[in-house]
Each structure stands twice: as structure tokens, then as C-alpha cells.
Amino acid sequence: MGNNHAHSHHETDVTPDISEGGKEHLAKSDALWRLLRPVRIKLLFCAILSALGAAAGFAPYIAVAEIARNMLGSQEVDGNTIWMWVIIGAIGACLRLLLVFASSRLGHYADAELLHDVRVRIVSKLGVLPLGWFRDSGSGAIKKRMTNDLEEMHQLIAHALGELVGAGVAMIVGFTYLLMIDWQMSLITMAVLLVMVVCYRIAMRSVTTHMSRLLAAEGRISAASVEYADGISVVKTFGTGGRIMQRFAAAVKEHTHAMLDWVTETKYSSAASRLFSSEMTVLGVVMIAGLALVAADKLTMANLLPFLIIGVGLPTSIMPAIQGGQGIRKGRVAASNIEELLNRTALMEPDQPKKPVGHKVELDQVSFSYDGVAQAVDEVSAVCNPGTVTALVGPSGAGKTTLASLLPRFYEVTGGSIRIGEVDVRDMSSDRLLSSMSLVFQDVVLLRDTVTENIRIGRPQASEEEVREAAKAAHIHHVIEALPEGYNTVLGSGSGGLSGGEKQRLTIARAILSKAPIVLLDEATASLDPDGETAVQAALAELSAGKTVIVIAHRLHTIRNADQILVLDQGKLAEKGTHNELLARKGLYSRMWAAQQKGESE
């Protein structure tokens, strides 16, 4: 009754939301209270206001009941008493509006404050997690933390807590008033609602098991959806959509079977719960029992009216209480997921960071394994001197990209060490390490921002003139000038109509502006047409001048002039030397060169 206005659109639902979680998550209720600690004072006042609002909200109904009792219970109607109850009802209605409004505002303020803090913490944590965690978790899992779980926290803070408290107080006030009228009718009314609660608990008896199964299937659906969307170009090119859609269909089928099993198990108890929570059911029971007591002279018609006015409306207070309980359950799951992410181990930062002397890169027996079993990189050693170009080549899966990813500590080496300027990269601060490198990857990432901001992301303090000079050095200035708003053009998901080579040159301009002494190029020209490759190669020449350059390439003719070429095969260093030296050895590199030359001639 007291919270009826806020729930007129809700329907009793015995199926909890399955946004995330599992058995282990449901047990971690402490995570919720730890996460709510910064706003607990606001939430306390929100609950108090909600409780007062619920109590005040009963005043109009009690006033109507008392006026009816007064008019039916005595032959002489007391006008003063009638007006007193009219005034009490009006004041209660006004107070309820004000208190509920204040409670809602305070709850939303607390929600905004906490979610801002949590979002900042999540983004900060994502910035220091190793790249391997993103690879293992997938973008679908990260999206659920950033959107679904935070939405559940919003529902909990801004709505569920206040509604649960308000509903609880409304039931207490309602039953207390009815007990003061007639204890027998109060027990009969309460019995109907207790049957509803028992049926609901039976329907929810195996919620943890079913939720775990549903969430596992939902996770696979999300992963397959993201995989399909992210790889749509590959799907269309090679026609692999059927296999991906089969994985999606299998996950949907499992989700359907899990839901069907749950519905089959709970269909009778759920139906009974809905039946006994219906106002019409309560009305029928109250009417039959009340008229029977009236016929037996154990109840007056005047005292039956409060049960028809207030007792019948009590289910509308129980429903918000149940929904609020579900909100807390979902909030616990969401808080557990968020805390699990926030507690992830970040890349270790040295207590006393060291400063490298120079920018010579040394690989000393470097090894790395993704799973702790198979070696993706196996005891690779090499020295890359400043002012030289080192090329990494080898068959697909040889470990080239993995080795390159170890330099900026996207992954931690599992054996050996990598040194820059005689300092182990693990002894350098992440900021110093990354600022010493310009990274140019084949998969270009451009922000939804202006061209200027995309170029100076590595040096936010760079001037407009420095940005333009970097663009000119990367041979992209004339392309930018031709855009609708020049350097102020906002690049969207389509990157403002830029071609693949133009996007590459934009990232090269970004790298040039950073003035980092070490340049790491990953397949920078592998997917470009000849004209685009020529322009990018010219830009790379500007970027690489006088720096320590490490480049990965499949097109061997692009690294013929490299100072040294490291040939990787199954994670091991198979060969090392210059282009001419490696051709003379007639080894793996020579065979790869011959195969490419033959392919180009055909």
C-alpha cells in the first residue's frame, strides 16, 4: 500500500535476474557492503526517509478506514472526528510525497557518487592489468563488468534498498493497525500472505544451481556475439560465419534448456505464489472469513471495512519487499564481480625504479608461456643497438608478436630477462618504460576524438604546431587538411573515411610526436596496397631515424636492409644475421625468401 505508486508497473516475478554470478558469488555478500562503504551514511538517511515516507503513506488509508468505521459504527456522526481524519490523511499524503522524493534524490546522489568512484577505479585497474588478462577474459566479460554489473549496482542503490525498507515498514504499520482492530481477521489476512511467501521460497529453493547454469550459457552467448561482431570482416571474407553461429546457437540452446528446466521445476509453486499474492485472492478470503465472523457476532461490519481497505492492499507492499530482496541478491553478485576485477593482480611496479642508461635493448635467454606448459618464446637472446634496425621474421605462430609484446611488458617473461639501457624492464616504472617506446601495430586503434587529440595522445602537452610537424613527417598532413574540419575532424567508428594506409600514417605521426627512442613496429605494412605501403615506409623512415628499431614483417623485401634479422621458429631463435648472410646459409630464412619471390613472380 505505502509503496504502491512505485510498483504499479511491476509483476511478481519469482525468477531472479541472471545478469552475472554463480555459487561462489552468492556467498561473497561482504563484497557488497565493502563496496557501499563510501556512501553508507547517505544510504542510512535514504532508508530512514523511505521508512518515514512509507509510514506516512498509510495515513490516508487509515483515515478512510476510520471515517468509514465512525460512520457505520455509531448512530451519530462526529463531524470533528471526520475532519480530523481528513486532515490527518491529507497531511500523511503530502508528507509521503515529500519524504519519498527526498529519499529518491538522496539514493540517486549516493548512486552517482559511488558509481563514479567505481568506474574510475575500474578504468584505473584496467590500465595496469597485464594484456594477458584481457586476452583470457575477452571483451564480453569486461563489458559485463562495466555495464551490466554497474547497472545492477544502480538498481540496488537508487531503488532496491529504499523500496525494501519502505515495503517492510509499510507491512509493519499495516499489520499493527489491523491487529488493533481485530486479531482474528489479522491472523487470517496474514495467513494468506504467509502461504504466498512459502510458495515463493519453494520456487526459489534451487536458485543458485539454476542461476549458475544460466550464467554459464549467457557468458557463452555474449562471447560468441562479441566474437562474431569483432571478426565480421573475416567472417564475410572466409565464410566462417556458420561455425561461429553454431557456437552461438549451441549456447542459446543450452540457455533455453536451463530456463526450461527451471520453469518446469517451479511452475506450480510459482503459480501458487502469484495466486496468493493477488489482491482478488486476499479480497475473497477476507470477505468470506469476515462475513462468517459477522454472522457469528464476532465482528462488526464497521471493523470489517479496514481489512477490505488496507488488508487487501498488503500484497502490494510484499511485492516490493521481494523485489528489493532480489535487488540485494543481484547487487551482491555484481559487487562480487566488480571486487574480483578490482582485486586482480596488476603488473608489479618496482619499489625503487631504475633509470636506463641509453636505449640498447638486450634479450637474455627470454622465455614465455601462455599456459605454463608450451613455450611460445623459448630462450631467445639478442642485442638491439641504438641506431640499428632489428627484424623479427618467421612462419605464422613462430612467436614474433609474443616476443615483441614482452618488451613493453604486455606480458611478463616467464624466463630470462629483457634489459633496456642495462636495466631490467621489471625494474623500470611502467610510465618510463612505455614512454621510451613508440608502438605501431597493424591493428590501428583511433579514439573517438579529433585528429589532433589522436596524434598527441602520447604527449598531451604538445602544441598545435608540433602536432602538424609530426603529421608532415608522417606524410599525412595533406590528407588531414582535406578532411571536412581538418585537424578538428572527429574520427568515429569509420575513422572519418581514412584508408588503412592513412590510419597507419596517423599512428606513425603519433609515434613521431612522442619522440620515444625505441620504435616497435608490428606488421605495419602487411595489409596495405603498394601505394599505401610506399607512403607508410617513407613515414617509418622518418620515425626510425637514429633510434632502436624492432620490426615484425611477413614481407621480407621490406627488411632487406635491416642491421640484423632474427628468424624465429616454434618460439626458438633459429637463425640470426643480415639478409645476405642468412641467404648464404640456405636455412629457414632462405627458404622463406625463395617462396615469397616465387609467389610474387607468379
The CATH number for 378's domain is: 3.40.50.300
Contacts of 523 (CB under 8 A, 6+ apart): 401, 441, 442, 552, 553, 554
Check residue 74 and give its pLDDT.
62
Q: Does residue 4 lie within any of the structural domains?
A: no
Check residue 539 and give its pLDDT.
67
Contacts of 364 (CB under 8 A, 6+ apart): 381, 416, 417, 418, 419
Residues 464 and 564 occupy one common structural domain: yes
Cα distance between residue 197 and residue 191, in whole Å: 10
Check residue 529 and give its pLDDT.
52
Residues 418 and 560 occupy one common structural domain: yes
SS3 label, residue 515: coil
Residues 213 and 329 occupy one common structural domain: yes
Residues 368 and 334 occupy one common structural domain: no
Residues 31 and 132 occupy one common structural domain: yes
Query: Residue 545 belongs to what domain range?
Result: 361-601
Residues 318 and 369 occupy one common structural domain: no
CB-based contact 338:25 (threshold 8 Å): no
Residues 307 and 405 occupy one common structural domain: no
CB-based contact 368:377 (threshold 8 Å): yes
Residues 298 and 398 occupy one common structural domain: no
Contacts of 534 (CB under 8 A, 6+ apart): none
Q: Does residue 347 lie within any of the structural domains?
A: no
Q: Does residue 9 lie within any of the structural domains?
A: no
CB-based contact 573:380 (threshold 8 Å): yes
Q: Does residue 69 lie within any of the structural domains?
A: yes
Check residue 530 and give its pLDDT.
59
Task: Classify residue 39 by burial, with Cβ atoms within 10 Å: 0-12, 13-18, 19+.
Answer: buried
Check residue 230 and give its pLDDT.
59
Each residue of 84-95: b (16+ CB within 10 Å) or e? ebeeebeebbeb
DSSP state of 39: G
Check residue 91 and give its pLDDT.
94
The structural domain count of the chain equals 2
Could you say which of 283, 309, 342 is where a domain stops? Answer: 342
Residues 519 and 407 occupy one common structural domain: yes
Q: Does residue 349 lie within any of the structural domains?
A: no
Check residue 524 and give its pLDDT.
54
Check residue 562 and give its pLDDT.
84
DSSP lists the bridge partners of residue 550 as 390, 520
The CATH number for 312's domain is: 1.20.1560.10
Q: Does residue 490 lie within any of the structural domains?
A: yes
Could you say which of 342, 369, 391 is where a domain stops? Answer: 342
Residues 474 and 384 occupy one common structural domain: yes
Residues 307 and 429 occupy one common structural domain: no
Could you say which of 315, 342, 369 is where a domain stops? Answer: 342
| Regions of the chain with pLDDT less than 50 | 1-27, 240, 527
Q: Which grid coordinates belong to 459?
A: 604527449
328-369: per-residue pLDDT in tens?
877 888 888 888 888 887 778 888 888 888 889 999 999 998
Residues 511 and 392 occupy one common structural domain: yes
Q: Does residue 6 lie within any of the structural domains?
A: no
Check residue 316 and give its pLDDT.
75
Q: Does residue 352 lie within any of the structural domains?
A: no
Q: Which grid coordinates belong to 328?
A: 540485494
Number of other residues whose CB lies within 10 A of the CB of residue 201:
12
